[in-house]
Amino acid sequence: MSSSEEVGGGGGGGRRRQRRGGGNNGVWPEPFLEALATQMAINASSSINRLAAAQALSNLFQVCSTWRAVSRSDLLWQNLSNRIWNRRHLLRPTWHDEYVYWHRTSNNFRHRRYVYRTLHFVPANNNDDNNDGLSCRRIAVSDRHLAAGFSDGSVQLFHLPSRAHLSTYHPQQRDRLGRYSRAISGIILSDEKLVFASLDGDIHVVVIGRADADPPRRAHLGDVVNDGALVDFTGRDRWWVGLYAGVPGRAFHVWNSETEQLIFAEGDLTDPEAVTGWHLLTELTDLVGQVHVTSRDTAVACTGPRLVVIDLHNQGLILQERSFQQELIVGSFDATSDSLVAVDGRGVATVRRTEDLDESCRFNVRGTSRRGVVGSMNSSGYGVMCVGEVIRVWEVENGVYLYSLRGRIGEVNAMHANERHIVACSSDGTIHLWDFGAQ
């Protein structure tokens, strides 16, 4: 499955203060050459795609031996891994190895080279006489783990390298305000911690890997009457962000993820969907809204008629906003720190920059229906849409259609794509995993 492309350079060597150039004996400080290489890679990534950065670097390193020596700087590859592939943690022996791995994985993603597997687990006992107890509502993936949250309130945790089912978690018991009040509405997952939220507003925390296997700790007790239903929940770095519907003026709740203290609760984004928010507690209707946190300490959120970007530092101040006559299909919406994608009722997917909501490109999603579009995108520049039991992949920088995944898996309730995997859960409770990882 590995790509035939190679990235120039070697492993992690020490930094050199300066080198002498080729024929003119000029002085070329290594920090200057590293900055030049970084900028050339970023320019190629922005103007063509992320894979093009490798060829730009290869051309630069062939100029002369002085410039080629820069390729041995591990600091250079650390910066490039961060800027091109959004990697902040070293998982391989050197940062050069890290960069090469994600370059090859992205190339696999572009050319449909993957290994397909399914994940299996023992369903939780469902004493609610609820035939929809295993309807998957949310999926999250980290480097080593996968978590799937269901409408019965359970969260299934898997170890990705072995595909083993590790544990099933349940929220703490409390009085219910509806049949689906415990349904999972959001998951934040790292390799050390699992945080999950339910429609009733409860937020639970699990430390992964503890030998004593403590049950989930409730970090926040929801208040449906005063806040409404927690229809989506996400987080990044120091932020937890919840999107509520049901009570006017309480759309956004933002917590400090370290102290778990609520910072503010306000916003009118979901005011028109208040009734639908309440209905979610008793019936699984269409998604009301979704929210994502960016690396700029902002959050971008979507409902059918609106997109907004809010400032998490400034009490949810709206920085950007767009309204639409042709409503968006909320299930198709996804965002990274740089871009977002959403499909409207005509089947037109629009890619926008998260910074200012300006349009980047468009592409058509065939066979669109309001309930039948589930979308996701990753930081490597690929958008994934499931329509009519078929999962298709686009390059979101330019809207070019790439391919569809082989086979039909049935109706998809939830889907997630990161830089290495596409994960989808079908209506029969099966979790499907496509692994594009470089070998």
What tens digit of pLDDT does each residue of 393-403 get?
999 989 999 99
Residue located via tokens 């925390």: 205
Taking the alpha carbons of 199, 200, 205, 209 in that order, is the dihedral positive or negative?
negative
Q: What is the pLDDT of residue 47?
A: 86
Low-confidence ranges of the chain (pLDDT < 70): 1-28, 122-133, 211-213, 367-371
Q: What is the pLDDT of residue 178?
A: 85
Cα 81 off chain centre by: 18
Give the three-class secondary structure for 195: strand
Q: What is the pLDDT of residue 18?
A: 38
**Which of 151, 217, 216 lies closest to 185 in space, CA to CA?**
151
Beta bridge pairs of residue 206: 194
With beta carbons less than 8 A apart as the criterion, state whether 123 and 134 touch. yes
Phi and psi at 154, nearest 5°, equal -85, 150
Q: Which two tokens stand for residue 374?
A: 């589930």
Helical residues (DSSP H) of 62-185, grouped into ranges: 65-69, 74-85, 95-110
Per-residue burial over 227-237, b = 16 or more CB atoms within 10 Å of its CB, e = otherwise: bbbbbbbbbbe
> What is the β-pairing status of strands 203-207 and 193-198?
antiparallel
Per-residue burial over 246-283, b = 16 or more CB atoms within 10 Å of its CB, e = otherwise: bbeebbbbbbebeeeeebebebebbbebbebbbbbbee
Give the three-class secondary structure for 428: coil
Q: What is the pTM of this model?
A: 0.88
Distance from C-alpha of 146 to C-alpha of 65, rounded to nearest angstrom: 45
With beta carbons less than 8 A apart as the criterion, state whether 169 and 216 touch. yes
Q: What is the pLDDT of residue 8?
A: 42
Task: Please report how many Cα atoms fall inside a 13 Å half-sphere around the Cα of residue 88, on the Cβ side.
Answer: 5
| Sheet hosting strand 145-150, strand order edge to edge | 136-141, 145-150, 155-159, 164-169
> What is the β-pairing status of strands 252-256 and 239-246?
antiparallel
Q: What is the pLDDT of residue 123?
A: 67
Q: What is the pLDDT of residue 25?
A: 42
